[in-house]
Amino acid sequence: MMLLQCQSNGLGVQHNMTYAAITGWGKCLPPAALTNADLATFLDTDDEWIKTRTGMQERRISHVSVSDLGYIAALRALAAAGKTVDDVELIVFGSCTPDQICPNVASRVQELLGAGRAACMDVNTACTSFLYGLTTASSMLRTGAVKSAIVIGAEVISPIMDWDNRNVAVLFGDGAAAVYLEASDHKEGLLDQQLGCYGEVRDILTVHGWGMKYANQEMQMGNSYWQFEGQEIFKRAVVGMVSASNSVLERNQLSSRDVDLVVPHQANLRIIDAVAKRADIEPEKVFVNVHRYGNMSAATVAVALVESIEEGRVNPGDHILLPAFGGGLSWCAHLIKWGERIQPIGQSGAELPACNKTALELVDELRASKAPRTALQGLMI
Ligand code: UT7
């Protein structure tokens, strides 16, 4: 252990400084892809509008549960780290679409993995859940509470999507990714973060029908109604992400020029461009995959981070900035220093069960199972 002079108690006592290195990574995307043209078969929308207003071309629709996606992503992250399930001391599941609330989803992943030594918790801050989960797990490693962790960002939004509402139905998709963290003496992993929330405007993104508030209201789970003020969310998202990015860089005496890669939340290409411009970040440093997956909420930054490694965008020692926002209205920016290894140690052969339906068939089934939207609006609380 590296010994550092203690700054906090002024007594000259020496403490060990532990970091939470990111040593494994893996993603799991359900195979069925819903194109803009598919959406135009049942919504008053078109490819041109969706592409120019959001940058999105397709998104995935899951045929399995969010815990199944998270489990496969976790296995892949473990293999990339060269670790086994017995090494895992903590599982943090970041999501706002848990398939169950009690018991939580992390415990389901523990059961599927057979990772019996792991403590299990879910974290929900909507789209920022993976990043808030990364803070939670890294902090626990840094205090010594645990020595390793899997942090998952996963979402299966399609069952609660308001499929008749073109304002939201075109924007979201399903997916998952995970990272493996291990205690390290080297200064790497999550160095710092700025977390925040505009609670006073929490209503601007509300999924009515999703939560105990709606119990016994004749509103079945899944029959949701989305309250969504797109332009207000857009403005708040840009302000929150830029302010968080500036704070975390300043605190670490870094300028935007010192950042090697930016992996932002992918809710809209125009939001990403606005954040990069206002935070003075060169566009070529910004990783974008919103065209492939749309907004996968908590899975978004997790999948983007994994793909930026897979596509050779991450180099040893890089400073990576991860700005994000989500319902709440939560916002944050995380600063990661990558370690030495950019190649996975191993690969998992685990796969999802085959999907024998198209994305449009999956969505058609979900739409057929919903009550008419007008009936749901009457039940809004
Ligand atoms: O992770 C958090 C999730 N939230 C977000 O990411 C939301 C952030 N906000 C946004 O990304 C954008 O505000 C949207 C993509 C949601 C909307 O883009 P916009 O440029 O702000 O469009 P708008 O809301 O001003 O709508 C412009 C027009 C409207 O028609 P009128 O009133 O001008 O006739 C909408 O009804 O576009 C219409 N419109 C659509 N047209 C075709 C809205 N959605 C669609 C659609 N297809 N899917």
Q: What percent of the chain clears pLDDT 70, i.e. is strictly above it?
A: 91
The preferred substitution site among 167, 170, 232 for testing ligand 1, maximizing ligand atoms within 8 Å of CB, is 167
Evaluate if residue 323 carries a pLDDT over 70.
yes
Calculate how far, in angstroms, residue 171's C-alpha sits from the geometric centre of ligand 1.
9
- State the average pLDDT over residues 320-335: 98
Name the residue with the closest Cα to ligand 1, atom 39: 167
Predicted confidence at residue 4, as pLDDT, reads 39
Scanning the structure block, which residue is given the tokens 């954040």?
275
How many domains are there within the chain?
1
pLDDT single digits (tens) 343-353:
999 999 999 99
CA of 40 to the centre of ligand 1 (A): 15
Distance spanning both ends of the chain, measured CA to CA: 54
Residues known to be catalytic: 127, 265, 295
Instruction: For residue 53, report the distance from its CA to the centre of ligand 1, in Å.
Output: 7
What number does the ligand 1 atom closest to the CA of 270 have? 11
Tokens of 37: 């043209």
pTM as predicted? 0.94
Ligand 1 centroid from CA 29, angstroms: 26
Higher-scoring residue by pLDDT: 352, 218: 352
Ligand 1, CB within 6 Å, residue ranges: 45, 49-50, 53-54, 127, 166-167, 170, 205, 230-231, 233-234, 267-268, 295, 326
Residue nearest (by alpha carbon) to ligand 1 atom 41: 45
pLDDT of residue 303: 98
**Inside any domain, residue 96:** yes
Residue of minimum CA distance from atom 25 in ligand 1:
231
The residues pairing with 295 across neighbouring beta strands, listed in sequence order, are: 172
Question: Could you give the CA distance from residue 136 to residue 188 in angstroms, rounded to a whole number?
Answer: 16
Residue whose CA lies nearest to ligand 1 atom number 8 = 234
Enumerate residues 6+ apart whose C-beta is below 8 A from 243.
194, 196, 331
Q: Check pLDDT > 50 for residue 9.
A: no
Domain membership of residue 9 (yes or no) is: no
Domain membership of residue 325 (yes or no) is yes
In a domain, 315, yes or no: yes
Q: Are 185 and 1 in contact (CB under 8 A)?
A: yes
Task: Examine residue 233 and state whether it is found in any structural domain, yes or no.
Answer: yes
Q: Are 208 and 200 in contact, with CB atoms under 8 Å apart?
A: no
The predicted-structure confidence for 220-250, as pLDDT tens digits, reads as follows 556 788 999 999 999 999 999 999 999 999 9
230: helix, strand or coil: helix
Q: Which domain, by its residues, includes 162? A: 18-344+356-377
Q: Measured in whole angstroms, how far is the alpha carbon of residue 13 from the centre of its chain?
A: 39
Whether residue 120 is contained in a domain is answered as: yes
The alpha carbon of 230 and the centre of ligand 1 are apart by a number of angstroms equal to: 6
Q: Report yes or no on 350 lying in a domain.
A: no
What CATH number should be reported for the domain holding residue 35? 3.40.47.10
Measured CA to CA, the distance from residue 16 to residue 189 in angstroms comes to: 16
8 found inside a domain: no
pLDDT over 90 for what percent of the chain?
87
